[in-house]
């Protein structure tokens, strides 16, 4: 009774103590759960390290491109605590390369020797720099066959949702991505080649965005004091400054191309001599037509709130079973009301690649986008570039990425 009486008489201090102890207990419980996740991942990685290898075999060599500045400077600590122990316990020879400034990953990829596998530890920006430097190499045809692992350490990790089971726990996300590299399950991903009139091409795995929703998203931090209402507030204030927010552009595109058969993983046996002679005679009498067949370009003038050009695999891996290779072009209508603009913009914060019900959607293999002077800025894989006339070309199944077997099966089942 004395204790209860004391708590009642000092209810302010009691309430503060309850809040402090509750927060501290929740924080300690979270730290304990993270420690359990790390331990389980290390035990699983140790089993890979205990596997016997032949005397003439060598350890697998992995080159890790790490951006220490990702996640507000926390990336290096996250990698050392959650990913590095797993790689070392698995018996992998790791070469760690840290970037010092923006754009350095592109230069590093131009000078890199061929590793057994490549690991990108960072966010969307680091990944976009690495694949751009990789595909700009003169020997990119052979270098692009190296499997790539992506360890999500950035503030934005869009590709991680396609490769691994989505989770809000950062430690679980990092350990699961690292373990998927050890297990060796890979999936081919499409790449977009985005080329201006003068500059070297930039390559993207997610896509390109241009328009009002992209511009509004850059101002969310100004309204931090509004909490969960900041996204709707940012869209509403933008309508007060300018309305309607329509963009004019010209779009030329080619329809999707039929998917060629997959190349055999093993070299087929050499055919008999008689069959080779017949095959050569057929080529002699009916030589194949050289040169690419000219394709029809479709052109249209568009007025849109936002234009996006995206690969299919941002949501699922159903593109693996499609008969055609294509990318998705989405044009949001220019007839939106203010309420519809705020609602669609808030949904695009969660999923920027999602096309609204009122949006026009088409599929293409190549696009040429003509923009007026002072067209603002693009977002290419969540990285900002100055908007200019560009050609966007699909490179189907260009790179192979490590993914979790559970996520691959889940997405393929969802596609059916």
pLDDT at 321: 60
Asked whether residue 316 carries a pLDDT value surpassing 60, the answer given is: no
Where residue 332 falls among pLDDT bands split at 50, 70, 90?
A: very high
Average pLDDT, integer, range 190-218? 90
19-66 pLDDT, tens digit each: 888 889 888 998 999 999 999 999 999 998 888 877 777 778 899 999
d(CA 270, CA 381): 44
Instruction: Please report how the helices 11-49 and 2-9 are oriented relative to each other, as an axis angle in degrees rounded to 10.
Output: 100
- The first and second tokens of residue 297, run together, are 């370009």
Average pLDDT, integer, range 6-26? 83
CA 327 to chain centre: 15
Name the least confident of 135-144, 314-323, 324-333: 314-323
CB atoms within 10 A of CB 355: 19
d(CA 238, CA 219): 9
Ranges assigned E (strand) in 99-181: 117-122, 148-152
205-227 pLDDT, tens digit each: 999 999 999 999 988 988 988 88
247-300 pLDDT, tens digit each: 999 999 998 887 766 555 556 677 777 887 887 888 777 776 554 445 788 999
| Contact by Cβ (8 Å): 308, 329 | yes
Based on its alpha-carbon atoms, the radius of gyration of the chain, rounded to whole angstroms, reads 26
Average pLDDT, integer, range 334-359? 89
- The first and second tokens of residue 399, run together, are 């790179």
Q: 287 — alpha (psi -120 to 50), left (phi > 0) or beta?
A: beta
- The first and second tokens of residue 55, run together, are 């005397």
List, in order, residues 6 or more apart from 320 with CB less than 8 Å away. Answer: 187, 188, 412
- CA distances 292 to 148, 289, 324, Å, are 31, 9, 18
pTM of the predicted model, to two decimals? 0.84
| Contact by Cβ (8 Å): 317, 162 | yes
Residues comprising the chain, all counted: 416
Cα of first residue to Cα of last residue in the chain, in angstroms, is 65
d(CA 73, CA 78): 10
| Contact by Cβ (8 Å): 132, 202 | yes
Q: C-alpha dihedral over 307, 309, 315, 316, to 10 degrees?
A: 150
């Amino acid at each position: 009774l004395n204790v209860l009486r004391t708590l009642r008489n000092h209810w302010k201090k009691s309430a503060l103590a309850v809040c402090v102890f509750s927060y501290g207990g929740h924080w300690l419980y979270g730290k304990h759960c993270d420690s359990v996740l790390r331990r389980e991942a290390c035990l699983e990685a140790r089993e890979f390290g205990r596997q016997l290898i032949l005397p003439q075999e060598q350890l697998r060599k992995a080159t890790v491109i790490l951006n220490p500045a990702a996640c507000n400077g926390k990336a290096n600590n996250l990698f050392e605590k959650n990913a590095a122990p797993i790689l070392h316990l698995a018996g992998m020879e790791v070469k760690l390369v840290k970037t010092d400034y923006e754009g350095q990953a592109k230069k590093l990829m131009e000078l890199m020797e061929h590793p057994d596998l490549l690991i990108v530890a960072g966010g969307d920006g680091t990944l976009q720099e690495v694949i751009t430097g990789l595909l700009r190499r003169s020997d990119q045809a052979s270098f692009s066959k190296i499997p790539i692992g992506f360890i999500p350490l950035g503030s934005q990790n869009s590709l991680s949702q396609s490769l691994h089971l989505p989770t809000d726990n950062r430690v679980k996300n990092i350990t699961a991505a690292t373990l998927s590299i050890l297990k060796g399950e890979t999936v081919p991903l499409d790449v977009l080649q985005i080329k201006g009139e003068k500059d070297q091409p930039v390559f993207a795995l997610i896509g390109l965005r241009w328009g009002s929703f992209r511009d509004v998203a850059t101002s969310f931090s100004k309204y931090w004091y509004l909490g969960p209402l900041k996204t709707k507030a940012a869209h509403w204030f933008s309508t007060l400054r300018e309305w309607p927010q329509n963009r004019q552009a010209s779009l030329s595109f080619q329809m999707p191309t039929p998917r060629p058969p997959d190349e055999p993983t093993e070299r087929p046996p050499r055919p008999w001599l008689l069959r080779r002679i017949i095959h050569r005679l057929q080529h002699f009498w009916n030589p194949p037509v050289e040169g690419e067949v000219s394709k029809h370009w479709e052109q249209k003038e568009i007025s849109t709130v936002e234009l996006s050009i995206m690969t299919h695999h941002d949501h699922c891996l159903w593109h693996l079973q499609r008969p055609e290779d294509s990318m998705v072009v989405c044009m949001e209508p220019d007839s939106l009301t203010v309420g519809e603009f705020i609602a669609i913009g808030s949904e695009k914060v969660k999923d920027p690649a999602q096309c609204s019900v009122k949006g026009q959607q088409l599929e293409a293999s190549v696009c040429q986008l003509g923009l007026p002077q002072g067209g603002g800025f693009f977002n290419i894989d969540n990285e900002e570039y100055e908007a200019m006339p560009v050609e966007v070309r699909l490179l189907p199944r260009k790179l192979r990425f490590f993914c979790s077997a559970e996520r691959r099966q889940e997405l393929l089942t969802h596609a059916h």
